[in-house]
Chains A and B, each alone.
Chain A
Amino acid sequence: GENVEQHPSTLSVQEGDSAVIKCTYSDSASNYFPWYKQELGKGPQLIIDIRSNVGEKKDQRIAVTLNKTAKHFSLHITETQPEDSAVYFCAAPGTYKYIFGTGTRLKVLA
């Protein structure tokens, strides 16, 4: 079955700096990789996703890159702001259900 590893578990950056979170997956058949942002007391919110037929996708300050050969995908947040502080989860599909990473707690220091 699919296995997802996520690093780092915590990340502190200064406001305006970039943040990068990395995930690896095990199932080479996986073809869709979402990223979720979860704020305290709320459910996960889909912020960006990528399909296996592209290597990079960007949406304003957020980008995701995918390396299918290495089975890596990463979330990049540029010009971080205090409101970016949250827990971020990557996921990979395991036959329709998601297998989630363990999460990265991002703190953006003002």
Chain B
Amino acid sequence: GAGVSQTPSNKVTEKGKYVELRCDPISGHTALYWYRQSLGQGPEFLIYFQGTGAADDSGLPNDRFFAVRPEGSVSTLKIQRTERGDSAVYLCASSLGLSYNEQFFGPGTRLTVL
């Protein structure tokens, strides 16, 4: 079946601009996670959703970052007033539910802030 998909695969923007990154989880997966991966590092947790609600957003670095999942499926990660330090690969993962450990990752969106 289809895996987790993310769009766009690459995004180049200028400092100060607003960007939206989209994640389509595996059908039927109620839990959705966002991670950020800097070059040469492991993924770092940003936020996760159970259904429509953000169960834990403690990983969001500051209030320029926000994520939504209005219908409990597709999620959008929104970054305002982008900074060069936001450049990274943003990964989305999904699982059957919070009590199911296995998380399946999408290919990521590579964000470059010039």
Which A residues are closer than 8 A to B by beta carbons?
6, 32, 34, 36, 41-46, 49, 51, 89, 91, 93-103
Closest CB of chain B to A106's CB: distance in Å? Answer: 15
Show 16 residue pairs from A and B whose CB-CB distance is below 8 angstroms, ordered by the A residue: A6-B42, A36-B105, A43-B91, A43-B105, A43-B107, A46-B102, A51-B101, A96-B55, A96-B56, A97-B45, A97-B56, A99-B45, A100-B44, A102-B41, A103-B40, A103-B41
Report if B26 contacts A (CB, 8 A): no
Bound complex: CA A6 to CA B103 (Å): 20
Q: Which 5 A-B pairs have the closest CB atoms?
A: A100-B42, A43-B105, A97-B45, A32-B101, A43-B107
Tell whether A49 pairs with B105 under 8 Å between CB atoms, given A97-B59, A98-B43.
Answer: no
Q: Kindly report which residue of chain A lies nearest to residue B108, judged by CB atoms.
A: A43
Q: Kindly report which residue of chain A lies nearest to residue B6, judged by CB atoms.
A: A43
The residue that A96 contacts in the complex, of B6, B31, B107, B108, with Cβ under 8 A, is: B31
Bound complex: CA A96 to CA B33 (Å): 10
Total of A-B residue pairs, C-beta within 8 Å: 58
Q: Kindly report which residue of chain B lies nearest to residue A93, judged by CB atoms.
A: B101
Residues of A within 8 A of B60 (CB): none
Closest CB of chain B to A82's CB: distance in Å? Answer: 22
Cβ proximity bits B87-114 to A, threshold 8 Å, 1 near / 0 not: 0000100000010011111111000000
Chain A interface mostly? strand
Q: Report the count of interface residues on B (CB-CB < 8 A).
A: 25
Question: Do the beta carbons of B48 and A97 come within 8 Å of each other?
Answer: yes
Question: Do the beta carbons of A49 and B107 come within 8 Å of each other?
Answer: no
Cβ proximity bits B58-92 to A, threshold 8 Å, 1 near / 0 not: 01000000000000000000000000000000010
Question: Do the beta carbons of A89 and B56 come within 8 Å of each other?
Answer: no
Question: Do the beta carbons of B103 and A95 come within 8 Å of each other?
Answer: no
Residues of A within 8 A of B48 (CB): 96-97
Residues of B within 8 A of A93 (CB): 101
Q: Kindly report which residue of chain B lies nearest to residue A102, judged by CB atoms.
A: B42
Bound complex: CA A47 to CA B34 (Å): 20
Contacts A34-B101, A100-B43 aside, 16 further interface pairs with beta carbons under 8 A come to A6-B42, A43-B6, A43-B91, A44-B91, A44-B105, A46-B103, A46-B104, A46-B105, A51-B101, A89-B43, A96-B31, A96-B48, A97-B56, A98-B43, A103-B40, A103-B42
